Structure 1
């Protein structure tokens, strides 16, 4: 090697080293100035005690045991001075008072603005009963235990957020979707007599066809540290978390998903399940005989979804996180006319619901609960939330005050908080019209309970979900439009 060549190589090495050091120090400055996305994830148990009231929307059973725990699971995101929290709770829904108190505590204890929080419920049916009306139907010690449990929920959710915030670190984000067609089915059917029926039964010869589609899209958002350590996986799929009921507390199939992924990716990774719009979607295939009891079916579904996620990890696509934005948009939803002379009747129906000697019919309970959710009380908001978990009414009592929310990362990823037990058509419409190529819609979000949110077409078809709805036809589409407008502004 000549002296000239040697000197040239030394100079080249020095230049490479200088460039490398410049990149390293620039990266450090970049991170320190808040330009790099920071992510933290954590979970806190929110399992209700044995002896409290549990159940689905109308459940008045008493908890006999804990099969597996329920959690509040949180992802905190921070970038360029913006910080936001996304929390999924293993609950059937989010009472307005719970959301309100959690947002207030959030600001006081963490400094994160309450408006920068998106909360969502997995819609688990084998969890705690959160409605005071149904506590009253049971009464006694179970009622007192449920009151105490619900009172402590905001602080537990905040603890999950606080822990996630404490773990903030530079991170990368990856996304992907796949199709899973074998486990979710539209549960509303056109019958031969021209009526529409919800869950008409397996192998029912009177069934003509489903009245709507499903959403087979399984969405995954994966967060990892800069040294490729798993931080969190967000799994979204449209399927009623109602495989399990009874008197044993369980997170149902979302719990199984988390368990399987933890075995592979490590227990430090937080797995968050959010439900897509599944108000008219469940796990029952009416063309087949029942093959599994509910626990087996729950495990089967969770294992299938977890397997899909595991297959997706290698092919997930990295998202450019050049910005972080969050927005909440208030929405007024007109309500149907209420027969105020029915209030006394409705109160008595709910009171008798738990009476073994003189029980109210389920049909009457559905009607009565709807009436009591839509009347304004002279005593004000505090009195209203002693009997309902539903969002507040407007001052004129003609509409419910709801909201839609979005967190966006860069120009590609949007996480949507959509309220209520929403029909699948509404979520599909949001995805179709979203300017963000990867849009995740999580129902049971917003500022509190809305009950069922059918699409406009379903109102003329009737049956259970429509009888339960607290909004007029078109309310779901009003919120879809609000989401699309919000996303266009954020984009």
Structure 2
């Protein structure tokens, strides 16, 4: 009897020591496609012909008081609702983590495989057949595997956070001349007496590092810039996010799993129109790694609570088109399979015909927040969000550190701010939602951040 009582007290003591303990696990699973798989990014069929560097599904699982949350980043151009739904279901079945406690975002590399998205582009890129279909069928299981392995590695750890700046590598790629926008995708010099950037950039670099006994075990890095530095080749690459993550791990804790969440970079690129200098993938990743290293001594430990997860599905108005616009889109689409056309007319045709075909299907965007501290929140939205919208969220956020991951939990295409619509150009003609859609997402994001902060 005395032995049983002593054993019970020992168990109670052990359980008490675990109560309130914050635990973290991280893992990465390779998702590099085989040769012949269609590649994403440039409105044309490009088959994978090799690998510059492998791509991954990376996951961080956090847990306290029995509540789990998972942040996943995949080295792809985007996410789709079917892939996210299948991955969340697999995570719930295999890991016991609720599907809606899982956030899945993409780095937006343009040298990864193409995912079918239910539009004309699927036919052009062959994403929904052959190797493309095989890849999509395998992907949810690989995402779930990364979460499963991360959960298996759960161990006591402390979140530490800092933020810095990385100047001189990102530029607002929309340039205004006489009220109309021109997109600058690649570095070139412009006449700044006649043209000006259409908006700001966000040079803030967010660094969230989970440490166990002073040793980093996982990192969540956040910066806003299109990963298009590798170009339109036929080899798989994670682009600069891969270099950035690898260098941070090598410098500070070899073996540390580093996730890179791309911020609101819908109109942000590396195309330098000030100096005209072209920076390589290595140079961009190194610049960000240097900026992270500079703030590393400033990493400060934050107090934790059990993870809070909030999400809201927002219904947006789809854009409307005239009969003349629809006829023009059909004419362009009829030539896309056989002719080399400009990016803007192709994007406009794809967006117009997809929007018309889905006019009776709600355009739904999921906004999600995960927080485990009163100082840090991770917010995600679908689509390629304009930087102005991200800056508005950060400014209004009640959290000291707000990390924003775009292209998460599905995609709704480009999401410009209201001011950009009359200026036209690529991002606007690519948008699925009406003017004001972005501001609606901002409103919901701020509301959810407030609820997460208050814990209600």
After TM superposition, the score normalised by the length of structure 2 is: 0.90
- In 2: Cα distance, 1:375 partner to 1:348 partner: 15
- The verdict on how the C-alpha distance between 1:414 and 1:287 changes in structure 2, with shifts beyond 3 A counting, is same
Gaps of 5+ in 2: 1-9
- In 2: Cα distance, 1:96 partner to 1:27 partner: 45
Q: Does 2:418 align with 1:456?
A: yes
Structure 1 segment 54-133 matched on structure 2, within 5 A: 54-56=39-41, 58-131=43-116, 133=120
Determine the structure 1 residue equivalent to 2:216: 230
Determine the structure 2 residue equivalent to 1:212: 199
SS in 2 for 1:69: coil
Provide Cα deviations, 1:272-297, integer angstroms capped at 9, x if missing partner. 111110111111110213355xxxx1
Provide Cα deviations, 1:364-405, integer angstroms capped at 9, x if missing partner. 32122113322456xxxxxxxxxxxxxxx7xx54x4111100
Measured after TM superposition, the shift of residue 51 of structure 1 is 1.5
Measured after TM superposition, the shift of residue 242 of structure 1 is 1.2
Measured after TM superposition, the shift of residue 351 of structure 1 is 6.0
After TM superposition, the score normalised by the length of structure 1 is: 0.84
Determine the structure 1 residue equivalent to 2:6: none
Determine the structure 2 residue equivalent to 1:422: 385
Bigger mean CA offset, 87-96 vs 318-327: 318-327
Structure 1 segment 242-281 matched on structure 2, within 5 A: 242-245=228-231, 246-281=233-268
How well do the aligned residues superpose, as a CA RMSD in angstroms?
Answer: 2.4
Determine the structure 2 residue equivalent to 1:389: none
Measured after TM superposition, the shift of residue 336 of structure 1 is 1.4
Q: Does 2:297 align with 1:335?
A: no
Structure 1 segment 2-401 matched on structure 2, within 5 A: 28-33=14-19, 35-56=20-41, 58-131=43-116, 133-137=120-124, 139=126, 143-191=129-177, 193-199=178-184, 202-205=188-191, 207-225=194-212, 227-245=213-231, 246-292=233-279, 297-338=280-321, 346=329, 349-350=332-333, 352-355=335-338, 358-376=339-357, 396-397=360-361, 399-401=362-364
Runs of 4+ in 1 over 6 A off after TM superposition: 24-27, 340-345
Bigger mean CA offset, 204-213 vs 78-87: 204-213
- In 2: Cα distance, 1:466 partner to 1:485 partner: 26
Gaps of 5+ in 1: 1-23, 378-392
- In 1: Cα distance, 2:89 partner to 2:334 partner: 33
2:38–2:125: 8 Å Cα contact kept in structure 1?
A: yes
Determine the structure 1 residue equivalent to 2:7: none
- The verdict on how the C-alpha distance between 1:438 and 1:26 changes in structure 2, with shifts beyond 3 A counting, is farther
- The verdict on how the C-alpha distance between 1:360 and 1:178 changes in structure 2, with shifts beyond 3 A counting, is closer
- In 2: Cα distance, 1:443 partner to 1:163 partner: 24
- In 2: Cα distance, 1:217 partner to 1:261 partner: 17
SS in 1 for 2:228: coil
Provide Cα deviations, 1:161-190, integer angstroms capped at 9, x if missing partner. 000010011110000001111111111112
2:348–2:426: 8 Å Cα contact kept in structure 1?
A: no
How many matched pairs? 439
Answer with 1 or 2: which has the greater Rg: 1
Measured after TM superposition, the shift of residue 338 of structure 1 is 4.0
1:177–1:219: 8 Å Cα contact kept in structure 2?
A: yes
SS in 2 for 1:326: strand
Structure 1 segment 438-477 matched on structure 2, within 5 A: 438-446=401-409, 448-477=410-439
